[in-house]
Structure 1
Amino acid sequence: MASYDRLRAGGSPRPLETGDTWWYAAVAGEAAGSFSTRVRTRTRRACLGAVLLLTIVYAGLVLTATGRRWGDAAVTGRRADGTAATVLRDHPSLAGLTTLSLVLGCVLLLAVGLVRKRYALTAAATGAVVTALAVTGLLQRYAPRPRPVDTVGGLDPSGFPSIQTTLALGVALALVLVVPYRLRTLAVGAATLWAVGVGAYTIAAGQHRPGDVIAAALVALAVTSGLLALLARKGRVRPGPRRGPALPGLPVTVPLVLLTLVGLGAGFWLLGDALALPATAPYDPVELRLAHRCGQALAAGVVAAAGLILLMVLRRVDVDGAPAPYRLGGPFVEATGVPHDAELVGPFTEDRDHEIS
């Protein structure tokens, strides 16, 4: 075999048979494998980037005294923030609604996949959510972390990362596997906005610190991106139509973009003043309120950015089924003695009207 006779890039190796030539390996194999390779590269980079950011967040907000002090101030500052305190006081049913929404989100994920008869993708989406929850549980159990202090000096149970945000955003990102391609942006964007609300509630209620919500978003993004990289390696992706889900998803993507820009911008702008807290209590209520709002902005921006990143990584990528098979035909195949009805995979259709230039 000549030096330029190579197998598919990123595809499963297949021994050359009668009718296989160098142009089959170069045209059919490279054209089919190059798209999967690009998708696998993008999703793998998203996964590794999320893991790297998760490590930085853990080191900066959990292991350092300044990060722990800011997290404690953000939790205790929820009562100094009149807006958050008023909403929680006037709507005590938010706790039950949050739990109910998490249950309904899981049911919706399973129902959409089963109704569309995408059993394998539904199992993969469920596995991604379960894996994200398992990683979150392991980090909560074994990663050293402080717990927020309430106003009376007691220690409230907390966790790094937030289990509620992991579940909400995990369900939102897993929808890319089960919803139709044209509705993917609308579904994932709306579910990401819901995950932003879940994370904001856990911070306002004092259940988690902002770093817990940020870490949960990064865990969900890393697990989902890793699963998509595995599917791309298996060849379970294909190019989506150019008229994709961008236009129907504008009602949710525009708020997500604004939330990402405003949340991250305001959060980092306020972070300098929030980190300048004195080393010892008591703190000024204004400083506590500033730390709480800074944490809310950063958490909302990161959760919204996680959904946008996954949508951008999967731009014009359809994961709803395997690539369409090719058949090898044409005068070149007939010249090699291959039967007319031979089941070969190649770049040519059955009309035999092709030309290589």
Structure 2
Amino acid sequence: MASYDRSRAGGSPRPPRTGDTWWYAAVAAEAPGSFSTRVRTRTRRACLGAVLVLTVVYAGLVLTATGRRWGDAALTGRRTDTVVTTLLREHPSLSGLTTLSLVLGCLLLPAVGLIRRRYALTGLAAGAVVTALAITALLQRYAPRPRFLDPGGALVPSGFPSAQTTLALGIALGLALVVPQRQRGLVVGAATLWAVAVGAYTLADGRHRPGDVIAGALVVLAVHCGLHSLLARKGRVRPAARRGAALPGLPATLPLLLVAAGGLGAGLWLLGATLAVPDAALAVPDAASYDAAGFRLAHRCGQALAAGVVATTGLLLIALLRHVELERPPVPFRLGGPFVEAAGAPADAELVGPFTEDLDHEIS
């Protein structure tokens, strides 16, 4: 250890250099019951839980005939929902606005990090977005699933998971790495509401099924929880102020909570009503037993469940990082100059306060 890594006589201990005692942080992070251990445990459990739920969604909505029938009914039901058709007909610019918002979000995330000079965290946030998109592309290409053909005989590409939802929610949760801790709830909550709107538009436009949007949200949650678990493993987290930390984020987290609770509640209730519809009525739109109300019900159920799941993922990450500070502590007070050097202080030591260790500083 360095020679100055000892307690000062009659004074407070001098803080050691990070480069000389880097292993102190690693040992402290591994201590049972430490703050880093608690953060790592809960984020790792959230990551594993997201992977487990993603597996269940994939098995239930992609591999089973009932799940595929429900997804197809939700996709077809957008044409029977007058609210959706009227909105898309009267506002054709929504498609361009959605694409533009995704482009601006991709620029906003690194811009905030670079302006705040959080270069390492900005790189991690961008890496998390790229990793989530890469996992989404791999699942779309290689995940086993039944093959479907369009009326022309061409193979229908898989939309599981939704790339638009993955990108939007990845940007929203990535902002948790680059914004200040006190503004994290407000910024991440508002960005998650935007991700909910992007997912809802992809469903209304017929680009994706509800399971695709839900899977995209779960992929992003798993990646970000795994990243924060790794940061806690490396000792890069520390406790933040607890008093009044939740108040600045209420304007965004409260609507997000209402969307999550209302979406999941209404979606599960509508799902029960949809399952009560005979399978023959939801088979194909041109069947003799075609039921427009059943298709419309399936679409609204998918919209509610997708919005509830996306909002819940944002709330879960905000809750996991509520009292977690990801930035380094402020630099301690240092004093230098010719008077300090003339007093005999080591040239490479970090000085705290106006006095040196020779104790020859009596004031009479």
Same fold (TM over 0.5): yes
Q: What amino acid is aligned across from residue 299 of structure 2 in structure 1?
A: H
Alpha-carbon distance in structure 1 between the residues aligned to 2:199 and 2:56: 20
Partner of 2:12: none
Q: Could you tell me whether the CA contact under 8 Å between 1:186 and 1:245 is conserved in 2?
A: no
Alpha-carbon distance in structure 1 between the residues aligned to 2:29 and 2:134: 38
Alpha-carbon distance in structure 2 between the residues aligned to 1:103 and 1:243: 36
How many residues are aligned here?
311
Aligned Cα root-mean-square deviation (Å): 3.1
Q: What amino acid is aligned across from residue 62 of structure 1 in structure 2?
A: V
Partner of 2:13: none
* Residue of 319, 324, 345 corresponding to 1:317: 324
Q: What amino acid is aligned across from residue 182 of structure 1 in structure 2?
A: R
1:135-180 CA-partner distances (Å, limit 9, x unpaired): 0000000013357898999975441000000000000001110011
- 2:285 aligned with 1:302: no
CA drift at 1:32:
10
List aligned pairs for 1:76-115, cutoff 5 A: 76-115=76-115
List aligned pairs for 1:115-134, cutoff 5 A: 115-134=115-134
Partner of 1:269: 269
Partner of 1:289: 296
* Residues 253 and 153 of structure 1: CA distance in aligned 2, closer, same or farther (over 3 Å): farther
Alpha-carbon distance in structure 2 between the residues aligned to 1:323 and 1:226: 27
CA drift at 1:13:
5.4
List aligned pairs for 1:230-245, cutoff 5 A: 230-245=230-245
* Residues 323 and 38 of structure 1: CA distance in aligned 2, closer, same or farther (over 3 Å): farther
* Residues 226 and 30 of structure 1: CA distance in aligned 2, closer, same or farther (over 3 Å): closer
CA drift at 1:195:
0.2
Partner of 1:40: 40
User: Quick check: which has more Rg, 1 or 2?
Assistant: 2
* Residues 104 and 301 of structure 1: CA distance in aligned 2, closer, same or farther (over 3 Å): same
* Residues 147 and 320 of structure 1: CA distance in aligned 2, closer, same or farther (over 3 Å): farther
* Residues 149 and 184 of structure 1: CA distance in aligned 2, closer, same or farther (over 3 Å): farther
CA drift at 1:29:
7.8
1:11-37 CA-partner distances (Å, limit 9, x unpaired): 9756xxxxxxxxxx9xx7888970000
Q: What amino acid is aligned across from residue 232 of structure 2 in structure 1?
A: A
Partner of 1:194: 194
Partner of 2:225: 225
* Residues 244 and 269 of structure 1: CA distance in aligned 2, closer, same or farther (over 3 Å): same
Q: Could you tell me whether the CA contact under 8 Å between 2:166 and 2:220 is conserved in 1?
A: yes
* Residues 142 and 244 of structure 1: CA distance in aligned 2, closer, same or farther (over 3 Å): farther
Q: Could you tell me whether the CA contact under 8 Å between 1:67 and 1:275 is conserved in 2?
A: no
- 2:171 aligned with 1:203: no
Alpha-carbon distance in structure 2 between the residues aligned to 1:98 and 1:244: 35
Q: Could you tell me whether the CA contact under 8 Å between 2:29 and 2:35 is conserved in 1?
A: no
SS at match of 2:310: helix
Q: What amino acid is aligned across from residue 159 of structure 2 in structure 1?
A: G
SS at match of 1:113: helix
CA drift at 1:315:
1.5
* Residues 138 and 30 of structure 1: CA distance in aligned 2, closer, same or farther (over 3 Å): closer
Alpha-carbon distance in structure 2 between the residues aligned to 1:208 and 1:322: 44
Alpha-carbon distance in structure 1 between the residues aligned to 2:301 and 2:109: 32
SS at match of 1:206: coil
Q: What amino acid is aligned across from residue 320 of structure 1 in structure 2?
A: E
List aligned pairs for 1:125-204, cutoff 5 A: 125-145=125-145, 157-204=157-204
SS at match of 1:100: helix
Alpha-carbon distance in structure 2 between the residues aligned to 1:149 and 1:189: 39
Indicate the percent of aligned positions where both proteins have the same amino acid: 70
Q: What stretches of structure 1 of length at least 5 have no aligned partner?
A: 1-10, 15-24, 326-339, 345-349, 351-357
Alpha-carbon distance in structure 2 between the residues aligned to 1:265 and 1:273: 13
* Residues 149 and 101 of structure 1: CA distance in aligned 2, closer, same or farther (over 3 Å): farther
Partner of 2:253: 253
Alpha-carbon distance in structure 1 between the residues aligned to 2:210 and 2:148: 11
Alpha-carbon distance in structure 2 between the residues aligned to 1:137 and 1:67: 22
Q: Once structures 1 and 2 are overlaid, which stretch shifts more, 298-307 or 275-284?
A: 275-284
1:188-228 CA-partner distances (Å, limit 9, x unpaired): 00000000000000000000000000000000000000000
Alpha-carbon distance in structure 1 between the residues aligned to 2:30 and 2:64: 49
Q: Once structures 1 and 2 are overlaid, which stretch shifts more, 239-248 or 283-292?
A: 239-248
Alpha-carbon distance in structure 1 between the residues aligned to 2:29 and 2:270: 52
1:81-114 CA-partner distances (Å, limit 9, x unpaired): 1101110111111111101100101100000000
Alpha-carbon distance in structure 1 between the residues aligned to 2:302 and 2:137: 23
* Residues 160 and 341 of structure 1: CA distance in aligned 2, closer, same or farther (over 3 Å): same
